[in-house]
Each structure stands twice: as structure tokens, then as C-alpha cells.
Amino acid sequence: MKTRNLVVGMLCATVFAPILIFTSTFKDSYPSSSESGEFLEDLTAFTVGGDARHLNLLPQESSTTLSLKQPILVISDKIAQHSAHSQSQSQGSWEHKSARVLSATTNGLDQSKTDNPIRQVTDLTKTPINKHADQEQIKASDNHISAHHSQILDTKHQQESSQTYGVLEKKEPTKINNEKQTEQTAPPDFRVRQLKDQLIKAKVYLSLPATRNNANFVRELRLRIKEVQRALGDASKDSDLPRIANDRLKAMEQSLAKGKQIQDDCAAVVKKLRAMLHSTEEQLRVHKKQTLFLTQLTAKTLPKGLHCLPLRLTTEYYSLNSSQRYFPNQEKLEDPRLFHYALFSDNVLAAAVVVNSTVTHAKVIYSSLKYALILPLVAKKIGENIRKLAISFLYSFVFLERWFRASINLLSFQRRPLLSVDMSNSPCCIEPLQHPSNHVFHIVTDRLNYAAMRMWFLANPPGRATVQVQNIEEFTWLNSSYSPVLKQLNSQSMIDYYFRAHRANSDSNLKFRNPKYLSILNHLRFYLPEVFPRLNKVLFLDDDVVVQKDLSGLWSIDLKGKVNGAVETCGETFHRFDRYLNFSNPLISKNFDPRACGWAYGMNIFDLDEWRRQNITDVYHTWQKMNHDRQLWKLGTLPPGLITFWKRTYPLDRFWHVLGLGYNPSVNQRDIERAAVIHYNGNMKPWLEINIPKYRNYWTKHVDYDQLYLRECNINP
């Protein structure tokens, strides 16, 4: 009996007594209306990482909260000293209440006052309260909170933060992803630009009177400038910066903030910035002019190796016997049925690349009738009857071939016969339609490089192709009495213009003074019928091109009565007529369209029969005489070419000829790969040091750098 009474007493002391104490303490410490107002403010203006997120269910009294506050809870010291069992019960009850608060906030469900403690708190805010009493309650509440704030953080911080803001944690990854996207979209040189801007600001502050009087600040700012310059170095993007660059950026920012406080005269700062801007623009203009001059000088200057090569070849040429100085297959030079190329150049290595690349890509194509001609040999093994049948097919095909060739001749198209059949010897004697031996290269150079050019192709014959090298000095018909352009080029005024002997009478644009325009080789393209009197078609190639595909298909193109077949270049605005001709002159404006499409020299198929029929050379001479004072156009051969072949040019497919590899680093790679001919027009030639590196390999792969003369002149890839 005593034992039972003892157990009942201990049960009352350990179970019922804590309940009574908790109930009385809860009533005494229940939050007042002012405290509930703060509690509502805290709940209605959550801030996560600076982003205010309101709970929609509770009244939003304030949106100026800048940091996340802990929920206001008043817990008695007695509760903290309870047993572990009572603590777990109280924790369970508060967890249940927190879950209900979040549920009401998220879903907006209506609950009764007795079931929802948050609703009880909101109801208290609706009752009128005395203003003075409210202020006293707020002060008392603040004192009470500060007394227990440290204990609350120690005991409840982890649990309550995870319970109360569990929903908000789902939104944090979204913000982190947004920050990452912002970093990814930032330019790759964002930090580099910041550092450069800081240097400009620092130099401005150093030049202002207010800051120069502050010796300590000037010393600090100069130190920061040196640190930033050392960290910046030659970096062009953020990945090139050292790790310490971010620290230098922050240190400079602090120093600039001090300078901003010292300098309060904005007008002086603006004036200094304007002066610096003007000075920078002037320096930029000077540097651009120097760059243009050096680029033009480099383009005109011959590298040491290319100067050595013709000297070495010339010496070797004159050491040969007279019988060793002739090229084979000279009987093909005037055969109109073959594929003839015209190349006018004084650059031995460049001419060699053009010839080698053309021969390399010349296809060996046989007629489809070849297989009918070979059938008799195969049929011999099968049987005599099949052989007779094959021979009958053979004669039928031969008859069709002869009929087709006769039809072509009637249409005045001179072509190489499809087949060459010797019926007296064998029914299967056949020659290919296209073969490197059917390609003939006519190279014209000046007297200085004539021996070197001949020696190169004698020592390095281009397979079975035929080569002819001529000296322009041997064209006795090309004289100043016949050619007005030759008369102009030899005049003293033209020499003064191009070499700038008299600064007052010369143009300031450097490209107008390139001595190559004084070379008659550059104008020989307007005299093709005179150079090749027995040919009816010729393909003109510049010496700065590389052939990537077979070009024999150009001879089969019907030019429809036009003289010049060329690729148009009107895809870019600066390749129209108004870019090259002076339309302020009435002779130009009345005869030509300023928006007409230009075309490109470098790969042109010329119908010499139509040239002679339309008397194109006289048209060229007429316009050259009218341009004796350079009032119609200023330089080069393209402007007179546009005039001479106006309405006489047939547009070719643009993939026959792709330009820009000598000045444009952004030529489409796919267009280069598909092009039959790529053209290094511009100053950045592939044999110069100023070439565009990514395009140079297309040219160098056609040069044999193991060749003896190249090694002796130290010409390397």
C-alpha cells in the first residue's frame, strides 16, 4: 500500500506538476498585441538573400525588412529545465504549429480560431489599442526578447530555421542558377575592362589639383596604378588574369572612393576627361596612319628569300647549254582544242604555286564509251558470239560520237574530240577527254625575272603539262604609240604621282601610290587577243590564287555572247561601281549605274573570239585616253575593267572563285573548302610575314620546301 502511494505521488510530481506550471507560464508570457504586430511583420516580410518574399495569408503591414528575423518566441527558464520527455513533447507541439503556419501560408486554407493559433494572433491585431500602452508593451517585449535572444539562438536556431523556412529553401537554387546564368552571359573580358576603366579614373584623379595637394593619397593611388598595371599585363580576357587581379581590383576601388570624396568639383573632372578623350583619339589616328604605312611598306617589300631565289635561278640558267633552255611540247602552245591559262607575274614562287595547284587538281576523265571500246578484249574470253555483238555496239557508238562532234562543229564550238579511234590498228585505242597533258600555261614576266622563271620550270616541270615563259620586252607591238596606258605609265606626272615626288600634287591615300600600278604586267590582261592571236578561249589567273578543283569545266560554259566570265562580288557594299568610279564626273554618271554589281579579277574565262568581234581593246583605249588626268578613276585595273566589260560580263557561280584571304580573317570556312579557286587579294599575301596564319596552309602545301634552291635561299614554311 505504501509503495502504491509512493508511486502515485511521484507520478503527480513528475507529470501533472509540469503541466500546471507550463499552463500558467504560457498565459503569463502570451504575446501582446504589439508583439503580435511584430510577429506579423516578421512573417509577412521574409527576406532571403536580399529578395523580399511575402506570405499572402497574413496582412502585410511593412515591406522594409532588410534581413531575416527569428520568430518571436518567449520561453521560460523553467521550460528549458524540464526533462527530456517534456522537451520532446514541446518540440513536437511547436513543430506541429510551424507546419500548420506554412500550410496556411501556402494553400490559403481557412481555419477556426480555436484550432489555429496564428488566427488568434491576427484577431488580436484587429482590437483597438491605446497608443501609449502599445509603446510600453513594445518596449517591454523588446527587453524580454533581448534577455533570451542568445538562448533561443543556441537551442532552437537549427530546428526552427529548417522548419519555418523549408518552403523557401526550394526557391534558393533558382536564384543561384540565375546568378550562374548572369556570370555566363558576362563578356569574357569583363574584369579586364573594369581594370582598364579603373586606370583611366586613377589617372584623372592624379591630374586634378584637389588630389595633387594630398601627398598621401597621390602616393597610394600611384601604388595602386602600378599594381593594377602589373596584374593586367597583356591580358585580353579574364582567363589571362592572375589570381591576385581580383584583390587589386578591390583595392583600387577603395582608393578611387577616397579620391571621389576628396574631389568634389565635377566640372574639373568632366573637363579633364574630355581632354583625355581628345588626346586618345589623336593618338589612335596617328597609330592607324603608322599601321597603314607599315602595312603598305611590307606589302611592297620583297622578303629576303624571295629576292635570293631569282638571283640563284638566274645564275643557274645562264650556266646551262643553249639546248637545255627549251621546254618540250611547244607544238601545243597554239592548239585551240587544249586548255590554255594566262599568268602574268614577276614572282617565281607564286607562279609555281598556281601552276602546281592547277595540275594537281586536273582530272583524268575518260569518255563513257571507253567501256564499249574495251568490251571486245573482255568478250574474247567469253565467246566469239558475244565478241561480235560487242563490236557491233562499238561501231554504233563511234557513229554517234562522230555525229555529235560534227554537230558541235556546226555550232562553231571548237572542242577537243571526245574520242580518238584508230580503226586500222585496234578498236580500243582511246585518249582521255581531260588530262594534265592537255593543259597549257602561258607565263609572261618581265626582263628581270625572265631567266629565273624559265629555270624554275625547267628544273621543276609540272608533270605532263606544257609551260611557256615569255618576256614582255619581246612584245614589240606593245609600245606607247599603240597603248595609251603605256604612254601614261611612262610619263613623268604619273611617276611623280605614284612615287610622291611632289607632295602637293599627290593623293594622301597610300594605296594609290603602289608602284605595281606602274608595271605594264598589271595592264597586259587588256591585250589578251594580241598575246594569244590563235586561241579562241583562255583562262586568266592571278599569281595570288590557289586552285583547289579541276577548272576544265569553265571551257564548256556558254557565255551567251559575253566576253568575260567572272564571279560577281556585290554581296558586299564596297564592291559596287560607285566604290571604284568617280560618279561626280558626267561621263561616268551618264553611262554607268552606281549600284551595279562589281566582279572580281583573278579567275576569268575570256572568249577571245567575241573579244575580237566586239573590239574590246579599242573600248579600253578610248576610256584610258579620257582618264589621262585620273578624273574618272584613280588606280588599278579593276575600274577600267568594270568600264570596258560593262554589260559584257557573264556571272559565274560564286563557288568558282572565293576572295578575301588576303585581308579578311572571317571568310567562311565552308566556302573556302567548296571553292574551285581561292584568292589572296589584299596586302596579306601568303608568302609575306603579315599573312593570315589560318589561310597560309592552303598555299604552302603546294610548295616543295625540300627543293634545292629553296633550301639555299632559306625559304621555310
Most confident of 103-107, 173-177, 231-235: 231-235
Task: Please state the φ and ψ torsions of residue 68, each to the nearest 5 degrees.
Answer: -80, 125
Question: What is the pLDDT at residue 511?
Answer: 59
614 has a pLDDT exceeding 70? yes
Q: Which helix (H) or strand (E) holds 505?
A: none
| Beta-bridge mates of residue 576 | 597
Question: What is the pLDDT at residue 693?
Answer: 92
**Mean pLDDT value across residues 338-359:** 95
609 has a pLDDT exceeding 60? yes
List, as one string, the DSSP characters of 191-250.
Answer: HHHHHHHHHHHHHHHHHSHHHHT-HHHHHHHHHHHHHHHHHHTT--SGGGS-TTHHHHHH
> Poorest-confidence range of 171-175, 476-480, 539-543, 587-591?
171-175
CA 537/CA 531 separation, integer angstroms:
12
Q: What is the pLDDT of residues 155-171, one digit of tens each?
A: 544 444 444 444 444 44
CA 292/CA 412 separation, integer angstroms:
51
- In 3-state terms, the chain is what percent helix, strand and coil (to 5)? 55, 10, 35
Most confident of 144-153, 167-176, 407-416, 554-563: 554-563
129 has a pLDDT exceeding 90? no
**Alpha carbons within 13 A on the beta-carbon side of 440:** 21
**Mean pLDDT value across residues 273-280:** 81
Shortest CA distance to 176 belongs to which of 52, 47, 66, 49? Answer: 49
**Mean pLDDT value across residues 118-144:** 47
CA 77/CA 148 separation, integer angstroms:
9
> Do residues 647 and 661 lie in contact, with contact meaning Cβ atoms separated by under 8 Å?
no
Confidence of residue 21 (pLDDT cuts 50, 70, 90): low
Question: What is the pLDDT at residue 358?
Answer: 95
Question: What is the pLDDT at residue 515?
Answer: 63
What's the one-letter identity of residue 96?
Answer: H
Separation of CA 484 from chain center: 44
Question: What is the pLDDT at residue 574?
Answer: 54
Question: What is the pLDDT at residue 74?
Answer: 43
Question: What is the pLDDT at residue 452?
Answer: 96
**Alpha carbons within 13 A on the beta-carbon side of 58:** 32
CA angle 130/134/135 to nearest 5° reads 125
C-alpha cell of residue 444: 609572261
> Do residues 450 and 469 lie in contact, with contact meaning Cβ atoms separated by under 8 Å?
yes
**Mean pLDDT value across residues 574-599:** 86
Question: What is the pLDDT at residue 24?
Answer: 57
Using a 10 angstrom Cβ sphere, with 0-12 exposed, 13-18 middle and 19 or more buried, the burial of residue 354 is buried
Shortest CA distance to 538 belongs to which of 574, 564, 572? Answer: 564
Question: What is the pLDDT at residue 651?
Answer: 94
Higher pLDDT, 212 or 313: 313
Question: What is the pLDDT at residue 69?
Answer: 45
Using a 10 angstrom Cβ sphere, with 0-12 exposed, 13-18 middle and 19 or more buried, the burial of residue 243 is exposed
CA 413/CA 415 separation, integer angstroms:
6
703 has a pLDDT exceeding 90? yes
The length of the chain is: 717
CA angle 644/645/646 to nearest 5° reads 95
Local structure of 346: helix, strand or coil: coil
Confidence of residue 392 (pLDDT cuts 50, 70, 90): low
400 has a pLDDT exceeding 70? no
384 has a pLDDT exceeding 70? no
C-alpha cell of residue 229: 598595371
Task: Please state the φ and ψ torsions of residue 605, each to the nearest 5 degrees.
Answer: -100, 120
What's the one-letter identity of residue 215?
Answer: A
C-alpha cell of residue 425: 590498228
Over the chain, what is the mean pLDDT? Answer: 74
What's the one-letter identity of residue 70?
Answer: Q
459 has a pLDDT exceeding 90? yes
> Poorest-confidence range of 119-123, 232-236, 271-275?
119-123
351 has a pLDDT exceeding 90? yes
Q: What is the pLDDT of residues 410-455, one digit of tens each?
A: 443 333 333 333 333 333 333 444 578 899 999 999 999 999 999 9
Shortest CA distance to 31 belongs to which of 65, 67, 69, 71? Answer: 71
> Poorest-confidence range of 210-214, 383-387, 404-408, 693-697?
404-408
Local structure of 656: helix, strand or coil: helix
CA 392/CA 272 separation, integer angstroms:
97
Shortest CA distance to 453 belongs to which of 464, 463, 442? Answer: 442
Separation of CA 326 from chain center: 49
C-alpha cell of residue 606: 575570256
56 has a pLDDT exceeding 60? no
Other Cβ atoms closer than 10 A to 502: 10
371 has a pLDDT exceeding 80? no
Local structure of 99: helix, strand or coil: helix
CA 449/CA 521 separation, integer angstroms:
12
At what angle are helices 84-107 and 17-28 packed, to 10 degrees? 40
Most confident of 31-40, 266-275, 339-348, 411-420: 339-348
Q: Which residue stretches of 66-130 are H helix?
A: 77-80, 84-107, 117-124
CA 167/CA 177 separation, integer angstroms:
18
**Alpha carbons within 13 A on the beta-carbon side of 26:** 7
Higher pLDDT, 394 or 56: 394
Confidence of residue 575 (pLDDT cuts 50, 70, 90): confident
Radius of gyration for the alpha carbons in the chain, expressed in angstroms and rounded? 46
Question: What is the pLDDT at residue 406?
Answer: 47
Question: What is the pLDDT at residue 342?
Answer: 97
232 has a pLDDT exceeding 60? yes
Q: What pTM value is reported for the model?
A: 0.58
Q: Which helix (H) or strand (E) holds 622?
A: helix 616-626
Question: What is the pLDDT at residue 655?
Answer: 92
